[in-house]
A = this chain, B = another copy of it.
């Protein structure tokens, strides 16, 4: 570990904020996680709010740029859908607390969404519109493609955000079985979506 102090703080903040949110996180906790003194956090980032914004912006960007990469790749729309579902379940699996983190923060302070879209190069609007259009191309059913996109997102995200409840109810709180269930879900969701966009 020869990363700079600022990087250490940032990475520690990332872990804690994602787990506990802006309100639940404590500066002392982040300092402990980074292995240094609390005062240094303010030296580098001035305030908790600043530190949080830096983290949120990056995470938000990462989760949308992933879609972007898929959408601009040179494959058929159907393949894009397949790649999207595969890579998104992988992404969420590696960052299981991120979806809930994002959902919480955009509801807690809807302004961050606007500022985020204006201040930075992130354009979730365009990205989701593009995605919407890709789905539309494949959608032979009579259903509005927005309903399909939103259903897909719900199907992807819900098993992660509601994990404590679902794991207890359907899997006797056995974590490994639930992980296995999530892995097999990749194929399941793909099949479901293709069924939905059939004529």
Contacts and interface: CB of A to CB of B under 8 A. Distances in A.
A45 to B, nearest CB: 22
Contacts of A52: none
A161 B113 contact: no
Given A24-B108, A106-B164, A168-B113, A155 B159 contact: no
Interface string A127-152: 01100100000000001101100110
Contacts of A107: 100, 161, 163-164
A162 interface: yes
B195 A124 contact: no
Contact of A168 (B21, B125, B185): B125
A188 interface: yes
A162 B153 contact: yes
A39 interface: no
Copies in the complex: 2
Size class of the contact patch on chain A = 35 or more
Nearest to A148: B192
Contacts of A196: 192, 195-196
B162 A103 contact: yes
Nearest to A150: B159
A23 interface: yes
B24 A161 contact: no
Contact of A23 (B24, B114, B164): B24
B143 A154 contact: no
Contacts of A44: none
B100 A170 contact: no
Interface of A: 21, 23-24, 100, 103-104, 106-108, 110, 113-114, 124-125, 128-129, 132, 143-144, 146-147, 150-151, 153-159, 161-166, 168-170, 181, 185, 188-189, 191-192, 195-196, 198
